[in-house]
Each structure stands twice: as structure tokens, then as C-alpha cells.
């Protein structure tokens, strides 16, 4: 409706301005032609009776028979013996002398707009050719009456335009009933669809373009609902398959790990080739076991069954226990103040710390440092190294599943799930992990966890 009104107002304004310009031009042209014709006629009739060269009395007599306000000039003589009217410009006088024809100029005066008419008085010689006599006539014609007439017409035109606006409003409101209502319904249905309500549909009315649009929307929504349902079914099947396979592999892998432990101890008694093969089997079996455990953990998060078993924990002592269990204490610089307590799941905190510190030890450079800080409502654990850090291409993806920044590490012991699982565990607590770089170089991971209450619900990542 606003656009309709805007177009209507622009059209009215354009028509009014165009009408004003046309009327003004026509009225001024008609008045100008009439004034010029009158001056030319009188000068032509009086010129033969003028004595050449004229004196002051001759100029005064000629001026007396011309329209009021006329000035007659002959070299230094002029009527009525006073300086020229200020409205008569030097440019107009020069044009009259050099072109020997009638010249006009519209000017503004304190009395209002005026038309200055200038023309030379021509004499006829024996050769019958007309030549300038040196006498010039200037008439200042008042245009105030014409300007008032133009202003009156402009006011009437603007008044007509203003009166047309209510009619435009009425037409716009009537149009809105037929056009804007279906558009609003389409907007509401689209918002419902974008919010995840795939059952949103429109009522189809009539057979115009809006009805076709509503029908197309309904067909699109129905097809989208079908595709999303199919994708959800496939995703559920895939998650169930991963979970089932991981659980089925768990028992035989446990047995294989136990056997590889024995094989690792006996590897030193085997020939070189057999020892290398045994070490390869041990490494790959452990890697497969870790992958199965990670997949089981991921399946719990995907299914929404991951739960927190929280207890008030000395965070510094828990972090130190994690590093001691993996024999990393000597490889890490620790700053773990005592007495920093938070309500946490110790097993999941162990997973987070192990992944962050293990990632720094594998892919960074020493020294690797772990710093614990305490704030009023959360605890903050910072893990840094002095390696190359995270490149701009890698940083947005460090928490993605199975993401490995270096292709050369595609067969490393890492499954590519560690940081994703760490982030999911942090968010399960109601916290978060941020990845970045130190100003002097090296990767920096900051774990932030609430001190008291965790989220305690399912997590997606």
C-alpha cells in the first residue's frame, strides 16, 4: 500500500509539475509575444517622424508615445534624462547594438518578475535598406499579473493532487484485501516452515497467480517433509548401524587387546621381522580399539543418551590425575592451584583433558603448558603449546568429526574424533572449548566450565 501511495503521489506530483511548467511557459510566451508586438508596432509607426540626429526633446516625445516605463537612448542622451533602469543590463544593451534586432530578457526586480524588451530604431536610406539609426528603445514590462495567474493555477493543481490522495488510499486498501492477505498468509506459513514445522500448508483460493503460488508452496512443503523424513530415517539407521557395529566389535577387540599385550611383551624374543610385525599388530589393534570406543561415545551423544554423573571435584587434582595416569606429567608445565572446586563429571573431564593435552603433545612443540584459573562463576583450563599453531583454514574445523589438518597424519593413532568428543563433553556440562593461537605462536585451547550446575541434557555436535 505504501508503494502504491508513493507511486500515486509521484504521478500526481509529476503531472502537477509538468502542467505548471507547460502553463507557465505558455502564459509567459503569450504575454511576451504580445508585449514585443506592441512595442515593435509603436516604434515602427513613430520612427519615420523622428528627427535624425535626435535631440533630447525628440527622445522625450518618442518615449511619451511608448508604453509606460519606456526608455529611449541615443548615444549619451536618454529619457527621461536619468540613468537607465537597473533592470536593463549591459549585456542586453550590447546585444541590441551588435545584432540590430529585438532582444528580450526576463529579470527579477524588487517589484516582481519583469520582461525587458530592447530594440533598435531603424532608418531607411535611398538604397531602401534599413540600417540602425543609433536610437534604442527599452521597455520594462511587468510580469506580476502573469505570475499571479501562474501561481493560482499551480495552487489549484496541487490542491487537485492532494484531493486525489484519499482516493489512492481507498484504492490501495481495496487492493490490499485481495492481494496482501494471501501474501501475509504465505509469509506466516513460510516462517512456520523455516522454524521446522513441515506440516505448514496454505489454503488455495481461486485460480489466479496467488492461488498457483499457494499450490506450489504446498507441493514444495510436502516434498520437503517427505525428503526430511527419509533423511532422518537414513540418519537414524546410520547411527544405529555405527552403534551396533561398535558394540559388536567391542568384545572381540577387548580379547585382541589382551592378546596384543602379551605379544608386545614377547616381541623382544622374536626375530626382527616378526618383532616389527608384532609391534604393527599391537599398534593397529589398539588404534582400532580406541576408534570403537570413540564411535560408541559418539553414538551416545547422537542418541541423546549421554548423561552427567556430577560430583564436587577439585579440578586441579583431577587434571593432575589425568596426566599422571598417562605419564605426561614430566612433559607438561603445570600451573594448577589447589582448592578450585566445581560440580563436574570426573570421567568426562578426564576425556576432555586427555584429548586437549594429547593433541598438544602430538601436534605441537614443547613446552606444553596447562594453566587452571578460577573465576566467580566458572573454571578455565588453558592448554597451550609452542608449535606452528592453527592455520586460518584449519581453525574453523578443529572440532569437526574425523577432521585431520595434515594429510600425512591420516594413518596416525588419532581417530579424528577426540576434539569433537571433548567439545561435546564440555557442552554437556554447559561449557565450551575455544580454539585459537598465541600471539607469539602456538595453539591455544581454552576449556570453560560452570562451577556449579551443568546443562545435564543431550548434546548435538
Residue ending a domain, choose from 119, 151, 183: 151
**Is residue 357 located within the same domain as residue 289?**
no
**Is residue 347 located within the same domain as residue 283?**
no
Residue 298 lies in a domain: yes
Q: Is the pLDDT of residue 456 over 50?
A: no
Q: What are the CA-CA distances from residue 91 to residues 95, 101, 116, 118 (Å)? A: 6, 14, 12, 11
* The three grid cell numbers given for residue 180, joined into one nine-digit string: 496482501
Into how many domains does the chain fold? 3
Averaged pLDDT of the chain: 81
**Is residue 253 located within the same domain as residue 323?**
no
The pairs formed by 124-130 with CB atoms below 8 angstroms and a separation of 24 or more are none
Runs of H (alpha helix) within 304-345 = 315-325
Which residue range is the domain that position 224 belongs to?
210-303
**Is residue 276 located within the same domain as residue 342?**
no
Q: What is the pTM of this model?
A: 0.48
**Distance between CA atoms of residues 28 and 13, nearest Å:** 22
pLDDT digits (tens, 9 = 90+) for 272-322: 888 888 888 888 887 777 777 777 777 777 777 778 888 999 999 999 999
- Tell me, rounded to whole angstroms, the distance of Cα 162 from its chain centroid: 36
CATH number, domain with residue 262: 1.10.287.130
Residue 392 lies in a domain: yes
**Is residue 267 located within the same domain as residue 316?**
no
Per-residue model confidence (pLDDT) at position 127 = 59
Residue 172 lies in a domain: no
Q: Is the pLDDT of residue 103 over 80?
A: yes
Residue ending a domain, choose from 255, 283, 303: 303
**Distance between CA atoms of residues 51 and 28, nearest Å:** 35
Out of 203-212, 293-302, 430-439, give the one with best mean pLDDT: 430-439
Residue 178 lies in a domain: no
**Is residue 315 located within the same domain as residue 299?**
no
**Is residue 354 located within the same domain as residue 267?**
no
**Distance between CA atoms of residues 410 and 403, nearest Å:** 9
Per-residue model confidence (pLDDT) at position 128 = 60
Out of 123-127, 292-296, 372-376, 401-405, give the one with best mean pLDDT: 372-376
**Distance between CA atoms of residues 213 and 190, nearest Å:** 12
Residue 325 lies in a domain: yes
Cell 566450565, located at residue: 449
Residue 146 lies in a domain: yes
Residue 460 lies in a domain: no
**Is residue 384 located within the same domain as residue 252?**
no
pLDDT digits (tens, 9 = 90+) for 123-149: 776 556 677 778 888 888 887 777 777
Residue 125 lies in a domain: yes
Q: Is the pLDDT of residue 4 over 90?
A: no
Amino acid at each position: 500500500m505504501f508503494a502504491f501511495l508513493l507511486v500515486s503521489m509521484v504521478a500526481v506530483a509529476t503531472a502537477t509539475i509538468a502542467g505548471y511548467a507547460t502553463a507557465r511557459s505558455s502564459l509567459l510566451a503569450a504575454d511576451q509575444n504580445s508585449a514585443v508586438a506592441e512595442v515593435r508596432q509603436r516604434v515602427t509607426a513613430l520612427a519615420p517622424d523622428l528627427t535624425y540626429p535626435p535631440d533630447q526633446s525628440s527622445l522625450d516625445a518618442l518615449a511619451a508615445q511608448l508604453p509606460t516605463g519606456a526608455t529611449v537612448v541615443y548615444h549619451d542622451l536618454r529619457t527621461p534624462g536619468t540613468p537607465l533602469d537597473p533592470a536593463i543590463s549591459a549585456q542586453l544593451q550590447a546585444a541590441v547594438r551588435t545584432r540590430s534586432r529585438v532582444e528580450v530578457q526576463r529579470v527579477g526586480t524588487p517589484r516582481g518578475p519583469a520582461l525587458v524588451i530592447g530594440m533598435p530604431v531603424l532608418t531607411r536610406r535611398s538604397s531602401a535598406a534599413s540600417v540602425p539609426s543609433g536610437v534604442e528603445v527599452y521597455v520594462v514590462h511587468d510580469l506580476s499579473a502573469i505570475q499571479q495567474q501562474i501561481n493560482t493555477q499551480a495552487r489549484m493543481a496541487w490542491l487537485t493532487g492532494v484531493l486525489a490522495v484519499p482516493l489512492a488510499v481507498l484504492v490501495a486498501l481495496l487492493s490490499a484485501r485481495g492481494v496482501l492477505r494471501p501474501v501475509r498468509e504465505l509469509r506466516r506459513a513460510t516462517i512456520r516452515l523455516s522454524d521446522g514445522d513441515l506440516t505448514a500448508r496454505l489454503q488455495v483460493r481461486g485460480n489466479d497467480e496467488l492461488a498457483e503460488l499457494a499450490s506450489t508452496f504446498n507441493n514444495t512443503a510436502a516434498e520437503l517433509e517427505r525428503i526430511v523424513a527419509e533423511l532422518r530415517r537414513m540418519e537414524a539407521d546410520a547411527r544405529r548401524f555405527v552403534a551396533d557395529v561398535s558394540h559388536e566389535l567391542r568384545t572381540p577387540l577387548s580379547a585382541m587387546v589382551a592378546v596384543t599385550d602379551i605379544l608386545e611383551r614377547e616381541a623382544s624374543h622374536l626375530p626382527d621381522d616378526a618383532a616389527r610385525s608384532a609391534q604393527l599388530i599391537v599398534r593397529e589393534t589398539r588404534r582400532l580399539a580406541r576408534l570403537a570406543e570413540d564411535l560408541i561415545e559418539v553414538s551416545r551423544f547422537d542418541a541423546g543418551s549421554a548423561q552427567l554423573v556430577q560430583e564436587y571435584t577439585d579440578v586441579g587434582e583431577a587434571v593432575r590425575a589425568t596426566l599422571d595416569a598417562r605419564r605426561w606429567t614430566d612433559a607438561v608445565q603445570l600451573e594448577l592451584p589447589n582448592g578450585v572446586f566445581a560440580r563436574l563429571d570426573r570421567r568426562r573431564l578426564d576425556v576432555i583433558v586427555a584429548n586437549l593435552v594429547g593433541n598438544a603433545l602430538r601436534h605441537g612443540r614443547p613446552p606444553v603448558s596447562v594453566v587452571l584459573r578460577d573465576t566467580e562463576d566458572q573454571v578455565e583450563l588453558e592448554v597451550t603449546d609452542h608449535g606452528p599453531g592453527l592455520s586460518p583454514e584449519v581453525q574453523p574445523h578443529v572440532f569437526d568429526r574425523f577432521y585431520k589438518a595434515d594429510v600425512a597424519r591420516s594413518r596416525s593413532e588419532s581417530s579424528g574424533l577426540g576434539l569433537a568428543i571433548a567439545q561435546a563433553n564440555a557442552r554437556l556440562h554447559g561449557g565450551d572449548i575455544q580454539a585459537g593461537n598465541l600471539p607469539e605462536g602456538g595453539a591455544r585451547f581454552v576449556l570453560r566450565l560452570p562451577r556449579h550446575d551443568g546443562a545435564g541434557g543431550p548434546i548435538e555436535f
